[in-house]
């Protein structure tokens, strides 16, 4: 593994921060996860733009310009030398004696790790995955990619304990997104997915997929799918950096569509993988 902390690369075991870091004490920070295809980072500009937006939204001064991040990411990938890498970036507000409010002059803690990416098995992709729904108990700024992930952690753990792949979050009857992915519902041959805004993370993969769908003449409705839409859907799929485009074939024990990843899901997955070569 490769680690980078506050300006230098170092062994992961030596990459330690203060117990007074506000990331540790308050979850006061933001992050990104980027993956490589054929050793090259995918959609870096979109991820770095989102890191910047997340940081600004919480008044955190994110110290590295895009060019510095890009160069660091490439160096990290090169040092790690994996077939495919998963790059984690995190910026916290820095270390200070514990106090909810913060001083303007804190020095942010900047972290990057590069680890080997284990792609989702081809068999899982072709079979699709099961999911469950649960109440979306997150805060009102889910568009900020905050390291404060407790509600996502609990949702993900529920999926694990239930023996399904992902938890689909539902807020006041509306499907927002997954615990680590965006959710797209197919009805009457068109895509329905939650609009960008404070209730979802604006997924980089979501944006690529919606663009590809529109380019191929598939109608896209950016509105919240209802729970009814979810269970009447012809197809449901997840999008995300780690899940890519992944068919959901069962929700809360009920079969979705034919019980296999749908035709449109498979076509979109193909269009998507053509972007990654």
Query: What is the binding site for ligand PLP (CB under 6 A)?
Result: 33, 152, 177, 180-182, 201, 203-206, 239-241
Question: How near is the Cβ of 242 to ligand PLP at its closest, in Å?
Answer: 6
CA within 13 Å, CB half, 192:
21
Q: How far apart are the first and last CA of the chain?
A: 25
C-beta of residue 268 within 8 angstroms of C-beta of residue 245: yes
For residue 113, the minimal CB distance to ligand PLP (Å) is 16
Q: 95 near 109, Cβ under 8 Å?
A: yes
Complex with ligand PLP: residue 193 or 266, whichever CB lies closer: 193
Complex with ligand PLP: residue 94 or 244, whichever CB lies closer: 244
Is 145 annotated as catalytic?
Answer: yes
The DSSP code for 199 is T
Nearer to ligand PLP by Cβ, of 73 and 201: the residue is 201
Is 268:213 a contact under the CB 8 Å cutoff?
yes
Catalytic-role residue among 145, 160, 171, 254: 145
Least distance to ligand PLP, CB of residue 226, Å: 19
Q: CB of 202: closest distance to ligand PLP in angstroms?
A: 8
Query: What is the Cα–Cα distance from 153 to 84, expressed in whole angstroms?
Result: 25
Smaller CB separation from ligand PLP, 113 or 205: 205
Residue 222: how many other CB atoms lie within 10 Å: 13
Angle between helices 204-215 and 263-275 (to 10 degrees): 110
Contacts of 213 (CB under 8 A, 6+ apart): 191, 220, 268, 271
CB 159 within 8 A of CB 167: yes
What are the catalytic residues? 145
């Amino acid at each position: 593994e490769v680690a980078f902390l506050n300006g230098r690369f170092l062994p992961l075991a030596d990459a330690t921060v203060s117990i007074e870091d506000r990331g540790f004490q308050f979850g006061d920070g933001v992050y990104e996860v980027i993956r490589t295809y054929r050793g090259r980072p995918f959609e870096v500009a979109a991820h770095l733009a989102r890191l910047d937006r997340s940081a600004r939204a919480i008044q955190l001064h994110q110290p590295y310009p895009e060019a510095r991040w890009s160069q660091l990411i490439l160096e990290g990938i090169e040092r790690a030398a994996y077939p495919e890498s998963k790059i984690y970036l995190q910026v916290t507000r820095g270390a200070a004696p514990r106090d909810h409010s913060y001083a303007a002059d804190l020095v942010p803690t900047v972290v990057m790790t590069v680890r080997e990416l284990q792609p989702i098995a081809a068999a899982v992709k072709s079979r699709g995955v099961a999911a469950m729904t649960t109440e979306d108990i997150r805060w009102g700024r889910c568009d900020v990619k905050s390291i404060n992930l407790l509600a996502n952690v609990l949702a993900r753990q529920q999926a694990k304990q239930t023996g399904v792949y992902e938890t689909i979050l539902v807020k006041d009857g509306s499907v927002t997104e997954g615990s680590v992915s965006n959710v797209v519902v197919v009805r009457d041959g068109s895509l329905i997915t939650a609009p960008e805004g404070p209730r979802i993370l604006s997924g980089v993969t979501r944006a690529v997929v919606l663009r590809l769908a529109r380019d191929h003449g598939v109608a896209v409705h950016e509105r919240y799918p209802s729970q009814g839409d979810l269970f009447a859907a012809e197809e449901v799929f997840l999008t995300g950096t780690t899940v890519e485009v992944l068919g959901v074939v069962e929700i809360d024990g009920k079969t979705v569509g034919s019980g296999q990843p749908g035709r449109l899901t498979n076509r979109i997955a193909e269009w998507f993988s053509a972007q990654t070569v």
